[in-house]
Structure 1
C-alpha cells in the first residue's frame, strides 16, 4: 500500500470487535446446544415463546432479532422435531400461534444450564460494573436500528 491510500484499520473498528465477539460467543453456545439437538436461533425462539409469551412469527422474529425468513425456517425445523406446535390464531384466524410442546419445554430446560454457563464464562471476564457498562453501550449503539 502506498502512502496515498487511506487506511481503514480493521482491528481498530468497533464493528470488527463486536462481530468477532459475537461469533466467539455464538460458536461456544452453539457447541453446547448441539448436545441437545438445538441451534442458537432455535433456543432463542423456545425462550421467546416460553418465557416471554411471544406467540406469532412476526413478534418472535422481532424479539429474537432475526428476519422473518430465518424465523420461518427455524419454526419449521422446530415443528418437525416436535418442539413447537403452530395453530391458527384464536382471535384472528389469519395469524399463526406458536406454542411449545412438552418435548420443547423439556429440551429447553435441559439446555438452560449450558447456556447459563456460557454466559457466566464471558461475564466472569468482566467486573459487574464493566458488564453493566458494556450492555448499556451496546444498547446505545443499536438503539433505533432495525434488527
Structure 2
C-alpha cells in the first residue's frame, strides 16, 4: 500500500445511478404537481388513499416508502390545504383514519394526466421487456431491506 485511499468510482456505483435517476424523474413531475398545489409525496398519499383504500397513516407510510414523521408532516399539510380529512378510527379510537375531501379528489384527477405523461415519458425510453427487467432488478436489490 502506498498510503493513498482506494478510488471509489462514483459513476460505477449502483447507488449513484439509482439516486440520479430518481431525482431526474421526481424533478420532472414535481414541477407540474406544483401547478396543482401538490408535492410528490402529497400526490402519493392521495393515490394511496383513493386507489388503494389505505386509511391508516402507518399503512400509507409503508406503501409509499417514507417514514412515519414525513407522512405525518405531509398529512398535516394536505389537511391544512383541505385535501384530506382525518378522523378517529371507528373501531379503534386510538387510530386515525384518512379520507379524501371532494377537493382532494378533484386535485388528484386534475394532476393525473401530468403524472401519467411523466410515467409514459420515461417508460418510452425502455422497451417493455427492459422496463419489466428494471423493476425486477430494483425489487431484487431492495428485497429484505427495511423501509
Q: Deviations over 1:102-140 (max 9, x none)?
A: 000010010010000001000000011000000000011
List structure 1 segments (4+ residues) > 3 angstroms apart after TM superposition.
none
Match of 1:85 in 2: 85
Match of 2:25 in 1: 25
1:33 and 1:5 mapped to 2: Cα distance?
A: 43
2:5 and 2:71 mapped to 1: Cα distance?
A: 42
2:76 and 2:128 mapped to 1: Cα distance?
A: 39
Q: Deviations over 1:33-81 (max 9, x none)?
A: 0110000000000000000011011011001100011000000000000
Q: Secondary structure at the match of 2:52?
A: coil
TM-score, reference length from structure 2: 0.97
Q: Could you say if the C-alpha distance between residues 94 and 122 of structure 1 is closer, same or farther in structure 2, counting changes exceeding 3 Å?
A: same
Q: Are residue 41 (structure 1) and residue 41 (structure 2) matched?
A: yes
1:69 and 1:54 mapped to 2: Cα distance?
A: 17
How far has the Cα of 1:3 moved from its partner? 7.9
Q: Secondary structure at the match of 1:98?
A: strand
Q: For this pair of structures, how many residues does the alignment match?
A: 146
